[in-house]
Structure 1
Amino acid sequence: MSLSPTIAPPHPDPRPPAFRLPPGSCDTHCHIFGPNSLYPYVPERPYTPPDAPLAMFRALHARLGVERAVIVNATPHGRDNRVVTDAIAQSNGRYKGIANVDESFSDADLAALNAAGIKGCRFTFLPRLGALPDMDVFGRIMRRIAPLEWHVDLYLPAVGLEPFLPMLESLPVPYVIDHMGVPDAAAGIDQTGFQILLRLFERDRKCWVKLTCPERITAAGAPFHDAAPFARRLIEIDADRVLWGTDWPHPNVKLMPDDGDLVDLIPLFAPTAELQRKLLVDNPTRLFGFKV
């Protein structure tokens, strides 16, 4: 039996947002948890989520007006990616996925994930989510996923980014930095870690950034307006390499957000219809290979 702590469930009744998402909008960072009876959580998980299954996932997106999604397999499911690939199989082309993989996966295993709608793999550089990646293993996996035209999704806080800059810029695949590098909104956009991320984003066109998790960044609390300057600065640098997502069902947050608030931040991030379409439709279509 795991002794990992049980985390809070998502908001039970998120409000419909005032902002209307454009057709084809994609939530590029969200999770499905369980149900544990069908997709068991691994014993070595760092936390235990309440079940947040596909039906809840669909209901949330219907309320928000989201039409497409990229499901990121989270640590409680370990290297079992069925919770993602099964959802993709039922989505009629509306879902793609990010898998958890290691060196036990053969080339045939990776090809099968690719055929099932997986478009990348994820690595976390956050000690609370487990041991940091073995960088030799990481490098070998990057070389193996390159022929699949995958990217790598990185939970790598900007405060710890600098030692990894040479590795990132030499990667053979595109990479996506989660959650704007989780800066501290109280420290402003001039804080050192975020400035390092901005410079990397400006010079390395393999780098993408997810404008996600204002609830992890905020110092002021809901509705998280103090996260908007960080997102706007990234969009100012390159509106063609930014992505939006909810991070539903919001594992390990101190303040559980109302997902309606997260949607209503979008016009503060991207103030014009053109920028909104890039963020929500065009960029996800290009990176994840959705049908136009």
Structure 2
Amino acid sequence: MTHSNITLSHVTASYDHFKLDDLNFTIEKGEIVGFVGENGAGKTTTIKTILNLLALEKGTISILSQDSVACSTEIKQHVGVVLDDAFFYEELRLEEIEKIMRRIHQTWDSGYFYDLLKTHHIEKNKTFKECSKGMKAKVRIFLALAHHPQLLILDEPTTGLDPVSRNEILDIFRDFMDDTTSILFSSHITSDIDKIADKVILIHDGKIKLIEDQLTIDENYGLLKLTHDDFKELQSLNFLAVLEKNYSVECLINNKQEILFEFSDLEIKTPTIEEILLMFKKGVK
């Protein structure tokens, strides 16, 4: 019996002169995974490759224990998707979009969809064009949820939402989760990832740079701020990334307890996901 809902094994794909290079990761059942990286790092390309919207050159992708290519039609019935660049015909009313989706998904739940609209004060007779940017983001999410999928794949789902609305959506994602469901959640709003993700995958320049659960990050990752002289003395330590500034050097580590045991006088800050991302983006190994 498999415990994963997504498995990528040695995945390579190219799009518009950009290459995903040998990606390997697993998303377990019951797990929310935050997928982070700067713009152009490969998040959307990875998601589109998982969804068969871009061709897989090498490797394999398993979704819900099935081959993502051979079983694509069956898989779609059990996966909810929100893409950053997805759109609907702007003149359609939300109730008309709902009727279209009802014909596509065998497990579509009209009552649940309309309950979500009502709870968030969105009128079903509005056209998609009449919705604000925040409303459009919510409608996309509700459409992804309304057929009760086992897996959610979300590319920047909270873009355009104010902090209150984002928290409401994160609560909906939490309610969705049980021991069999999973979420792959790409976002540049790293504070949302901090709040909701069990595990973080960081991609940079088409390569996976970090796969860690939040507990490990909290317990073992750290940011050291050193003088240039102190850095010279300690540079034999295993730094993940180093960012030199005019008057200091910032160092990212993943063995905080080890270093504190040896150098108890050092001040080590637990980094946020955003700080880890910036270190991999701007720092050097």
Same fold, TM-score > 0.5, yes or no: no
Q: TM-score, structure 2 length as denominator?
A: 0.37
Normalization by structure 1: what TM-score? 0.36
Point out the structure with the larger strand share. 2
* Pair member with larger Rg: 2
